[in-house]
Amino acid sequence: MTRLILLNKPFGVLSQFSGGKDDSPHPTLAQYVDLPGIYPAGRLDRDSEGLLLLTGNGALQARIAEPKHKMPKTYYAQVEGVPDAKALAHLRHGVRLKDGVTAPALVQAIDPPALWDRDPPIRFRKNVPDSWISLTITEGRNRQVRRMTAAVGYPTLRLVRWQVGDWSVEGLAPGEWREISV
């Protein structure tokens, strides 16, 4: 039986078990999950929150993380401003980034999702509105969602990975995890 850990990675936590290259003071996964022989299947940058999958099964790790498998990943992004139809269409069709054009994404404007409070909270700007979008991608480029929203003129303020494939972070508070069998 293969172990799969679903972790709600808090904001500011590195997606690794040991310290950063520069002996970073940022917390790591080791402060949340104390299980031998498991490793992250993919990454989630320090400034992002939400679902991080961990396993010790190399084949499963590859199926989750390698772009050739095109595992869908759904993110909730709080963006600065309110994206217009043109910006959402651009995200749906692919956005030109420095490392090439992204694959089309499933994108829609959404009501603010019922999420946990972020610590620290995002900055509030009285004169600049913000809004939420749901974005599903099948690639995994470095900081891809943030770069995509910025490229269409709506920088990401908060990014939460909600789902990877059929697995979701629903019901897990930041730092909590559950094990499932696959």
pLDDT at 140: 80
Q: Is the C-alpha dihedral spanning 17, 53, 100, 88 positive or negative?
A: negative
> Tens of pLDDT along the chain (182 residues)?
788 999 999 999 999 988 655 556 788 999 999 998 999 998 899 999 999 999 998 898 888 888 788 899 999 999 999 999 999 999 999 999 999 999 999 999 999 999 999 988 888 888 889 999 999 999 888 899 999 999 999 999 999 999 999 999 999 999 999 999 88
pLDDT at 94: 94
Provide the residue type at 104 as one letter: P
Of 22, 23, 34, 45, catalytic: 45
Whether 45 sits among the annotated catalytic residues: the reply is: yes
0.75 exceeded by pTM: yes
SS3 68: helix
pLDDT at 95: 95
- CB burial readout 27-45, b (16+ within 10 A) else e: ebbeebbeeeebebbbebe
Looking at the structure, do residues 159 and 126 belong to the same domain, yes or no? Answer: yes
pLDDT at 5: 96
| CA-angle at 66, arms to 2 and 169, nearest 5° | 60
pLDDT at 22: 56
User: Beta-carbon neighbour count of residue 52 at 10 Å?
Assistant: 25
Question: Which residue's entry shows tokens 């078990």?
Answer: 17
Provide the residue type at 174 as one letter: P
Looking at the structure, do residues 43 and 87 belong to the same domain, yes or no? Answer: no
Looking at the structure, do residues 157 and 171 belong to the same domain, yes or no? Answer: no
SS3 31: helix
Question: What range does the domain containing 83 cover?
Answer: 72-164
Instruction: State the total domains in the chain.
Output: 2
Looking at the structure, do residues 31 and 76 belong to the same domain, yes or no? Answer: no
Nearest to 7 by CA among 48, 40, 45, 47: 40
Looking at the structure, do residues 76 and 157 belong to the same domain, yes or no? Answer: yes
